[in-house]
Amino acid sequence: MEVNASLVNFAAGVLSKKFLGRIDLPNFYKAGLLTCRNFFPQAQGPAEFRQGAGYVHHTRLNRDAMLFPFVFNDEQAYALEFTDKKLRFLSDGGLIFESTGAISHQLLIHFDGADGATAYTAESGQTVTFGGTAQLDTAQTKFGASSLLLDGNSDYVTVPDNANWNFGSGDFTVDCWVRFNSIAGTQTICGQGIDGNSYWKLTWNATKWQLYVYSGGVLQVGLDIADAGVAINTWFHIALVRSGGTITLYRDGTALTTGSYSSWPEYTSPFCIGAEMYAGPGGRADWFNGWIDEFSVRKGEAVWTANFTPPTAAYSSTNLKAITAITQADPGVITITAHGYSTGDEIYIENIEGMTELNNKFYLVVKIGADTFSLTDVDGNAIDTTAYTAYTAGGTADKIYEIDTPYLEADLKQLQFAQKADVMYIAHPDYESRKLIRSGDASWALSVYTRTDDPFTKAITGITAANPGVVTATAHGFSDGDIVEIWGVVGMTEVNGNSYKVANKAANTFELTDPTTGANVDTSGYTAYSSAGKAFKESNMPGAVAFYGGRLFFGGTADEPESFWGSKAPTNAGVGQYDVFTVGGSADDGITFPISSQNNTADKIQWFGGTNKFLGIGTYGGVYKANGGSDTTPIAGDAIAVQALEFIGCKAVSPIRLGSSLFYIQRGDLILNRFSYSLLADDFSTSSLNIFSDEITAGGLKQLTVQQGTTDIIWVVTDTGKLLGLTVKTDEEISAWHGPHAIGGSDVKVLSVCGEPQTDNKDSLWLVVERTINGVTRRYIEYIEAEDALPEQEDYYTGVLATDTLQYRKLLYEASKSLIRVDSALTLNQAQTVALTPGAVTGTGIAFTAASDLFAATDVGRYIVRKYVTGEESGKALITAYVSATEVTCTITEDFDSVATIGLGNWFLTATEITGLEHLEGETVRVQIDGADGGEYTVASGAITLADPGTVVHVGLSYTGRITSMPLDIGALVGTAQAKVMTVNRLGLLIRNTMGTKYGTDLYDLDQIPWRDSDETFAIATSELLRTSAELLNLPDGYDRRKFIHIVQDAPFPCTIQGIVPYVDTTNE
């Protein structure tokens, strides 16, 4: 007798095979799955085929990388890409480039404008104020339309005072072009000053150049150099550069004179060009007589440190660097004036004319000089441009923004973070803690985190110049044989950043010896010690960090593994004091507290995690809570209590917080625990999330991240490179494992994962994926972007079925184009950003006119396709002739709804040539064309040619999703159906927005729901679209004693399984 049962809830996720017979837990058993790969259970019950991952870029130098989140808000969220000693920044599906940040010139003035203009805003943003009769002049210019004209008796310009003119002890470059109308007398190029006793100025004095720096009436720097090469009516390039403590003056790229000066005075007055100016226009004036052009100040950068070729073009007013020449050579040499690049920097090149072979690609820089460099690919192969088309003009380069870090690749997975607003504190047991500060998308600073009364370092007050050098550090606490690091010494900087072995230690001193050989370190030839510095024991830094209760906490050092330290409490005004760790007896003082082990095990602190009641402390031996004596009392300098809650040890990986729960990895790496409030215990307690799924985490858990949305998912990366997911709904006790998820490609490992909030959707997900591409191991950054909801047919009801259905189908068709179901994918969207006007709604020989240049002769044979915006649009036309860049002639193959102008982004120009696929070179790729299956192609020379045209095309690596039910227990007349002979006659499938899905009881003999091929792309009325339906499917099946239902999605379409209804005949045998 045929009976059926409904499997309509998969929220138990993947169950261990140990539960194959546990029909005594019917609700749990029926909601469980034996396999759930590339599907994920939703909290509401269905299982959904996962989205594809878009390709972003290879990791830096193709090295291993770790991703961590930096979230200020959902509009300012980043993934931090840590690689060996470098840090890059990712946001909204892409890399951060230098061009997105403030330009490298703190002051840049092109002086380009109308003749006689007396108002100007610098390209760097400052207001330029004109004094006297200063004005722009188009009669003379080095670059651009005009230059600054100064008459030599009353003219000058100023920009407001700014910290960027305070050069301090750092490098800087000031440069410009000057053209003298007269070379008589003293003429000021630029300077800044408070009064006649405190100022600096760069001048020309009749026959020589002069640089004077005064502070309090005392001459700090005085450089004079005669120059017989200066004449009137000639443009000269002048550059003042400080590198280290050396100041050099260049004229036309040749060094004229040098001097030394350690720290530039600060002057609180406007920066002046063309005259010696103090706070106002009084005093000596030394007016410049002539023209000045292309004025630049760069703080923190010594652009030139040797003779150079002066710039041959105006500086870019963005961080895009203008290319001015490229040689045809092996390797090709690129010229960009003052490019500022270093060997190993990665740049993106575009818009070159002539040598277009270099366009739209990334390269590594090999620096040759200040203005020149060559290129390699990511593998270090030099780019040979010998056979390339000759360069004619144009082109820009944009550098991937990155900063230096001290962290070696092998140490990255031990990093822990605590963030407040735009400041992140980074802890690692082998490195001094760091502070990462964001001030813009491409403006980040990483520095050593310095604290008042730092508990982890010892202040150095002296180092002898002797053999061996002797360090004085009061009550340092080191022992002979300890390895220590020294940083921050002023004067004897030779010792900074080095490791030493402690010898002959006394209470306040110790000698320096080589950490490997034990030989004395001779400091007698070093620069004399001046001040400052700190020493700390190697690998004795805190590994855990967190904010809680207005304080910053650190813990888990090697010497004091059970102790933790907290900063001072906020001030009465609510200002944090995170840099002060002074311990005292007051409530707001800093904190030092050793945990007392309560289970006779070493309780090294592994992590901190704040709850809404206390500070959770995960240790090697268990979980503790810290508060001020009760859950309603904050931790204070004079009140702290620590209590053990659980004796289940923790791994040193930061936990994930969702709601009031903490999710953490148990010591041993195989179990994920939830730490939350228990009504039964009336306190917080730990529960394992692997009781029913103990085998899925084999291989060890490496990293956790959370992706929040209507369904919250904790993503887990294993030590073996697998990607697991855990769907959670804490208030409904849902925890459903899924995976391991098979990312597309060969020899695939997932190395890291990171969530990124979105403003109006669920979080997106970043991945680092390692795979073999064309025989080579590649590591790519990939991005799974949140998708918009698809249209629902009931939202388009007018009472006319045919009309409603067509409108819905058009909009579903259009929306399905954006759904990516391939990995490492690149997308070509052919929506055009030029308005277009059809000459008629139907017919042949119809003119289509673009609002600006767009078309080319090669467009003949392509289609113009109207985009469905409301579902009422229509129109498709085949281009049959090229008339001009703004006009083509077409045969209309589907009538247009109107001859009205079609707006920007509302029409497509189809494509069959897909380029830019170098990252998949030699691979067989799967193609999605306008939501249809476009078949497989092999990438050659970074390109494929499609058999069918498309408007939106996704190209990537295919992947397969698979669901397998638990063994069916249906239809027994007596007792269980387990081990009884049965057959599945029919299968009900409840599906939503699904196409191309396979189903059956034999994994190697499956039937399939129909799908749409790319040759049906435009047949909206008849072609197969995503289905939302209840399907009752005949299922040819044999008899067996154990039956499973298999769902396989190996086609690049969405699939959501809302329920499985097997119709089963079960015998009593």
Q: What is the pLDDT of residue 284?
A: 63
**What CATH number was assigned to the domain covering residues 321-400?**
2.40.30.180
Beta strands at 764-773 and 254-260: parallel, antiparallel or unpaired = unpaired
Picking from 155, 152, 136, the residue whose alpha carbon sits closest to that of residue 144 is 136
CATH 2.40.30.180 positions along the chain are: 321-400
Q: What is the pLDDT of residue 282?
A: 53
Evaluate whether 1061 touches 2 at the Cβ level (below 8 Å): no
Provide the whole-model pTM.
0.86
Q: What is the pLDDT of residue 136?
A: 98
Q: What is the pLDDT of residue 680?
A: 63
Distance from C-alpha of 642 to C-alpha of 635, rounded to nearest angstrom: 10
pLDDT tens digits, residue range 594-640?
998 776 766 899 999 998 889 999 999 999 999 999 988 999 999 99
Q: What average pLDDT does the segment 558-572 reach? A: 95
State the virtual CA torsion across 102, 108, 112, 113 in degrees, nearest 10: 70
Does residue 1017 register a pLDDT over 60? no
Query: Is 107-299 assigned to CATH 1.10.260.40?
Result: no
Does residue 980 register a pLDDT over 90? no
Q: What is the pLDDT of residue 602?
A: 67
pLDDT tens digits, residue range 135-181?
999 999 999 999 999 999 999 999 999 999 999 989 999 999 999 99
The amino acid occupying position 660 is S
Evaluate whether 436 touches 426 at the Cβ level (below 8 Å): yes
Distances in whole angstroms, Cα of residue 739 to Cα of each of 15, 551, 819, 861, 1050? 11, 39, 21, 45, 16
Q: How confident is the model at residue 225 (pLDDT cuts 50, 70, 90)?
A: very high
Q: What average pLDDT does the segment 171-200 reach? A: 95
Pick the range with the lowest mean pLDDT from 331-340, 568-577, 600-609: 600-609
Q: How confident is the model at residue 679 (pLDDT cuts 50, 70, 90)?
A: low
pLDDT tens digits, residue range 436-484?
999 999 999 999 999 999 999 999 999 999 999 999 999 999 999 999 9
pLDDT tens digits, residue range 638-652?
999 999 998 899 999
Q: How confident is the model at residue 306 (pLDDT cuts 50, 70, 90)?
A: very high
Q: What is the pLDDT of residue 1038?
A: 84
Q: What is the pLDDT of residue 861?
A: 98
Does residue 236 register a pLDDT over 70? yes
pLDDT tens digits, residue range 481-493?
999 999 999 999 9
Q: How confident is the model at residue 1016 (pLDDT cuts 50, 70, 90)?
A: low
Q: What average pLDDT does the segment 565-592 reach? A: 95
Phi and psi torsions of 850, nearest 5°: -90, 150
What percent of the chain is modeled with pLDDT above 70? 97
Q: How confident is the model at residue 1046 (pLDDT cuts 50, 70, 90)?
A: very high
Three-state DSSP at 449 gives coil
Question: Under 8 Å CB-to-CB from 605, ≥6 apart: which residues?
Answer: 542, 543, 544, 555, 556, 561, 562, 563, 564, 595, 617, 618, 619
Distance from C-alpha of 197 to C-alpha of 194, rounded to nearest angstrom: 8
Q: What is the pLDDT of residue 730?
A: 80
- Counting beta carbons within 10 angstroms of the beta carbon of residue 908, is it exposed (0 to 12), middle (13 to 18) or buried (19 or more)? buried
pLDDT tens digits, residue range 48-104?
999 999 999 999 999 999 999 999 987 899 999 999 999 999 999 999 999 887 777
Q: What is the pLDDT of the chain when averaged over all its residues?
A: 93
Evaluate whether 318 touches 99 at the Cβ level (below 8 Å): yes
Please identify which residue in the block is written with the tokens 């790229």. 253
Q: Where are the beta strands (DSSP E) in 774-906?
A: 776-784, 823-829, 836-838, 846-850, 863-866, 876-884, 887-894
pLDDT tens digits, residue range 917-946?
999 999 999 999 999 999 999 999 999 999
Q: What is the pLDDT of residue 1014?
A: 58
Q: What average pLDDT does the segment 889-903 reach? A: 98
Distance from C-alpha of 720 to C-alpha of 922, rounded to nearest angstrom: 26
CATH 2.60.120.200 positions along the chain are: 107-299
**What CATH number was assigned to the domain covering residues 2-52+959-1066?**
2.60.120
Q: How confident is the model at residue 283 (pLDDT cuts 50, 70, 90)?
A: low
pLDDT tens digits, residue range 535-561?
999 999 999 999 999 999 999 999 999
Q: What is the pLDDT of residue 77?
A: 95
Q: How confident is the model at residue 824 (pLDDT cuts 50, 70, 90)?
A: very high
**Measured at the alpha carbon of residue 970, what is the angle toward residues 966 and 973, in degrees to the nearest 5?**
145
Q: What is the pLDDT of residue 777?
A: 98
- Better pLDDT: 687 or 279: 687
Distances in whole angstroms, Cα of residue 59 to Cα of each of 90, 95, 411, 754, 919? 11, 11, 17, 15, 12
Residue 664 token pair:
């953490």
pLDDT tens digits, residue range 702-740?
999 999 988 899 999 999 999 999 999 987 788 999 999
Q: How confident is the model at residue 681 (pLDDT cuts 50, 70, 90)?
A: low
Distance from C-alpha of 471 to C-alpha of 920, rounded to nearest angstrom: 56
Convert 546-559 to b/e letters by CB count within 10 Å (16 or more is b). Answer: bbbbbbbbbbbbee
Does residue 500 register a pLDDT over 70? yes
What percent of the chain is modeled with pLDDT above 90? 83
Q: What is the pLDDT of residue 731?
A: 77
